[in-house]
Amino acid sequence: MSQVFVVRTNDRKRGVSELIGHFSAPGKNIAVKANFNSADPFPASTHPDTLAAIVESLKGMHVTLAERSGMGITRDVLYEMGVLSLAQKYGFKVEVLDGLGREHWKKEAPPGSHWNRGYMFPDVFRDADAVVTTCCLKTHRFGGHFTMSLKNSVGMVAKYDPSDRYNYMYELHGSPYQRLMIAEINAAYRPSFVIMDGIKGFSKGGPEAGTLIEPGVMLASSDRVALDATGVSILRVYGTTPEVAAGPVFKQEQIARAVELGLGAKGPDEVELVPVNEEAGEICAAIKKEMSEQGEGFKEYHISSV
């Protein structure tokens, strides 16, 4: 069974603390990938308090946050979001992936890849003792359909090949196989755990703006497939786009392709939702019910506030 831990809270420090105790990050060198695709505030981007709580929990480790923004200049985005100030305060390193030379990237091409020539993946994640990621809960109107833990990995891939300036993001966003290609990026690494900040989210629109929902939850898992299936189910509970609402959750293309690649749970029967506090029980029941449904349309749930 793939466990997804769910805590009902609006306190990010408490949420991270209660979730992170269920996991371990082997070794001292930890690479962290957050969600700083743009300088738009949470839930478009990782909340600074979530990042701070994660870094605090990794005290004693050598932490490197590595990032590439898709909607803005990465260093400017990190400055505007306060990440550079947090790095000074907590003593972690920041690696701007756009500036890495060719020697810091290696080509990846998983079996049956839909990438024309594979993609470039950085050594900072490949060489780390452990990878920890944190994502948001939101839909994606530019072809991804939703952007959670699997989609967050797009920010690990080079936009341009440093050798010949081939544009991998142009290929990705112009491809009819975009959602399959997103899943294929995840074959390059295995996270020790992922924390999803679902205190708020976008049920429509996204990734930088959308229809705001407030589930009041934080979630964590070492299984990206199970975590994203849980996230999609939360969006369905609150009412979401036709694309995200259609069909069984595990038939969503990002999730289905990730299952083919052996990256996680194969279906709802392999996902165990673990309510960390008593308040999480109600929403866990609604999530599990939605995850097992066939995607027949929005059903109204009444979830009590945190």
What is the average pLDDT value for the chain, to the nearest integer? 95
Tally Cβ neighbours within 10 Å of residue 295: 16
**pLDDT, tens digit, 9 for 90 and up, residues 61-107:** 999 999 999 999 999 999 999 999 999 999 999 999 998 999 999 99
For residue 189, give both structure tokens: 């690494």
Cis peptide before 111 (omega within 30 of 0): no
**pLDDT, tens digit, 9 for 90 and up, residues 119-140:** 999 999 999 999 999 999 999 9
The answer to whether residues 299 and 30 touch, using CB atoms and an 8 Å cutoff, is no
What dotted CATH number matches 2-292? 3.40.50.11440
Please state, in angstroms and rounded to a whole number, the distance separating the CA atoms of residues 198 and 219: 7
What is the β-pairing status of strands 193-205 and 217-221? antiparallel
For residue 65, give both structure tokens: 């946050």
Q: What is the signed CA dihedral for 85, 40, 5, 213, rounded to 10 degrees? A: 140
Q: What is the percent of the chain with per-residue pLDDT over 90, rounded to a whole number?
A: 92
* Helical (H) or strand (E) element with 76: helix 74-80
Helix (H, G, I), strand (E, B) or coil at 297: coil
Determine which of 201-210, 253-262, 286-295 has the lowest per-residue pLDDT on average: 286-295
What is the structure's pLDDT at 293?
85
Tally Cβ neighbours within 10 Å of residue 116: 12
Number of H helices, E strands in the chain: 12, 12
* Helical (H) or strand (E) element with 227: helix 224-238
The length of the chain, given as a count of residues? 306
- Tell me the pLDDT band of 166, cut-offs 50, 70 and 90: very high
Checking if the pLDDT of 296 tops 90, the result is no
Please state, in angstroms and rounded to a whole number, the distance separating the CA atoms of residues 167 and 268: 36
> Which amino acid, 242?
P
Q: Calculate ∠ Cα 143-249-187, nearest 5°.
A: 65
Please state, in angstroms and rounded to a whole number, the distance separating the CA atoms of residues 71 and 13: 28
What is the structure's pLDDT at 174?
96
Checking if the pLDDT of 5 tops 90, the result is yes
The answer to whether residues 4 and 219 touch, using CB atoms and an 8 Å cutoff, is yes
Checking if the pLDDT of 270 tops 80, the result is yes
